[in-house]
Structure 1
């Protein structure tokens, strides 16, 4: 689906409605349609298709999920890492840890094949603990090699309320030998705000232990200013739906600029998610973002690929 229109705000509303219907949207363009705008949109689409790494998501069977968590060699979670670039220096400063699933017959599966199942079956805590421990161990290995990357790990907010879960995060870091300052715990804005009452104290304790706390997909949920004041986030990740459109859409740019200003006042670092072009890099640098993630800089990759990438990366091109 391609949407076009003369009024940007009406166009944005139409796009949002289409997305809620789970339609595959190529993009939205304000009229008059300029060739360069259409070319940028097609470029983004081609980049997504070319860099798609895993197969269409058909859910695992519950027994496969259980076996994978238990250590099955045929079906188990694997980690990939997406580089996070410090805009000021152009250097790789960290990574976001992302989970995929290795299946002996179906290849590499995306998170939609196993995360919802883990949540519905009550196995999300066990899966998260496995992924977190592997991420911490990998971080320790990098540090032993003299590569001091900070590592972000996605955590379901519901897990924070599980008795002993926060203690597991702390004790694992201590046991493996990674200072918590190099570990960033990510939770989506929607999840955090829906569970703010239950998790605020736990998040505060983790911040006191020097863990980083990141509010992910900012701008897509219902965060209130009072809640943002109560929860001591150290990082804000601005959602890709705004970053992708900010260079050509005044409303999206205004949201990005306002988010950056808010984060700075709350002393958070700012990560722009989903940057796919040099134009995106230039824009987020201009508005004051600190870090950038996206296919323009690097796709999610296995550890060996990441090490080669870091050795070759020389900044934006």
Structure 2
């Protein structure tokens, strides 16, 4: 049976060229001109392979990688870029972090022989962590893993783009698969949502993150951690007490913990209790609105909820260096944050040009694969020491 391939590229010429390359071996090929259009197709059809460019309007390749990780199917993915090799490496790291079935990366102009060689063994190219995922994430095993060693937090640095200071890190969930490797955050969150255990996942992530903060303090590293919390948790009257109890247990100051509420949660659950968030804020915890700009509920809720930080959705960052409208929206979002006396974080910074743009616009913090990928606790400490000592240099920081 012929493999079904989806080619995603905003260039009609490139889509036509790749289609010509693939028709001779007998592949069935469909095309999409953006990540958004591709996602619409993927929600109704299954494909064996997705070949996607990284720089596209509406939703770029980085955004599409995250969406692919949450699909029920497990398509192979080939990444294309006409930009520098560092962008491709960042995309490769992101795909592996999200446990996407990555077949390879190619620079433009695309070499036909290399492309066909990547497609030759699709059936055998499943990532280690994905094989056997149904068994790994079965109900009983999922709950046991949450409470033992199945869940493994990773940490992505946040830097002040003007001074280069480490201002924090975001915590992501990874799942240790018994067969080896890891499942990414998308797979873990999807499993928790399907089984109705998002509140347990959030609690466990808070516990593991603060436990690590306590260890780092003894090693001389003080770092603010940003952790996503589910609306299920915020509906519980004792949630603020639970979080405060964890800070006391691991000797962490509340000011070193930032709780992120996603804009999607605000849209889905407009009844998130203000008293819980107000109590957390009064106790010194930071409250951030994550993925700002991805929906439409946030401007209304900004008046009601005691946020002190906006995290701008990565889709604006990826498009802002090439599209005037996206750049205007990004600048307006940063300006809005500052007029409301909120700090502004730009996530998804994947290139030096993106870093310089948001730095010049006044972003207070930046985060993305250009600066550092999500790392284990040990890897993060090594990265920090190398960065502090000048072993790691990031062009565009503090320039």
1:316 aligns with 2:397: no
1:193/1:227 contact within 8 Å kept: no
**1:127 shift after superposition:** 2.0
Q: Distance in 1 between matches of 2:38 and 2:274?
A: 34
Q: 1:40 aligns with which of 83, 88, 94?
A: 83
3-state secondary structure, aligned to 2:370: coil
Q: Distance in 2 between matches of 1:242 and 1:278?
A: 15
**1:265 shift after superposition:** 1.1
**1:106 shift after superposition:** 4.0
CA change 1:225–1:70 in 2 (3 A) is: closer
Q: Distance in 2 between matches of 1:302 and 1:14?
A: 33
Q: Distance in 1 between matches of 2:156 and 2:179?
A: 25
CA change 1:24–1:194 in 2 (3 A) is: farther
**1:159 shift after superposition:** 1.4
Q: Name which one, 1 or 2, has greater alpha-carbon Rg.
A: 2
Which digits, 9 at most, give the CA deviation of each residue in 1:53-91, with x for residues without a partner? 3634545111210111232x5xx1001100011112102
CA change 1:14–1:120 in 2 (3 A) is: closer
My pick for the range that moved more, 147-156 or 104-113, is 104-113
Q: Distance in 2 between matches of 1:284 and 1:81?
A: 22
Q: Distance in 2 between matches of 1:287 and 1:202?
A: 33
2:264/2:295 contact within 8 Å kept: yes
Task: Specify the alignment match of 2:38 in structure 1.
Answer: 18
User: If the length of structure 1 is used for normalisation, what is the TM-score?
Assistant: 0.87
3-state secondary structure, aligned to 1:105: coil
1:101/1:110 contact within 8 Å kept: yes
Q: Distance in 1 between matches of 2:270 and 2:254?
A: 22
Computed over aligned residues only, the root mean square deviation of the Cα atoms, in angstroms, reads 2.3
Task: Specify the alignment match of 2:97 in structure 1.
Answer: 53
Q: 1:186 aligns with which of 223, 241, 260?
A: 260
1:212/1:233 contact within 8 Å kept: yes
Q: Distance in 2 between matches of 1:50 and 1:81?
A: 14
3-state secondary structure, aligned to 1:87: coil
Which digits, 9 at most, give the CA deviation of each residue in 1:254-273, with x for residues without a partner? 11101001111111111111
CA change 1:67–1:248 in 2 (3 A) is: same
Q: Distance in 2 between matches of 1:136 and 1:109?
A: 22
**1:24 shift after superposition:** 6.2
1:298 aligns with 2:372: yes
My pick for the range that moved more, 113-122 or 296-305, is 113-122
Superposed counterparts of 1:1-317, under 5 Å: 1-4=8-11, 15-22=35-42, 25-26=52-53, 27-28=55-56, 39-40=82-83, 44-51=87-94, 52-53=96-97, 55-56=99-100, 57=130, 58-59=133-134, 60-71=137-148, 73=149, 76-313=150-387, 314=390, 315-317=393-395
Structure 2 residue runs of 5 or longer lacking an equivalent are 1-7, 13-32, 43-49, 59-80, 101-129
Q: Distance in 2 between matches of 1:285 and 1:70?
A: 40
Q: Distance in 2 between matches of 1:241 and 1:41?
A: 20
Give the count of matched residue pairs.
Answer: 300
3-state secondary structure, aligned to 1:153: strand
Q: Distance in 1 between matches of 2:57 and 2:254?
A: 44
3-state secondary structure, aligned to 1:80: strand
Q: Distance in 1 between matches of 2:276 and 2:383?
A: 36
Structure 1 residue runs of 5 or longer lacking an equivalent are 6-12, 31-37
Q: Distance in 1 between matches of 2:203 and 2:51?
A: 34
Q: Distance in 2 between matches of 1:61 and 1:78?
A: 17
User: If the length of structure 2 is used for normalisation, what is the TM-score?
Assistant: 0.70
Q: Distance in 2 between matches of 1:219 and 1:185?
A: 18
**1:153 shift after superposition:** 0.8
Q: Distance in 1 between matches of 2:213 and 2:383?
A: 16
3-state secondary structure, aligned to 2:260: strand
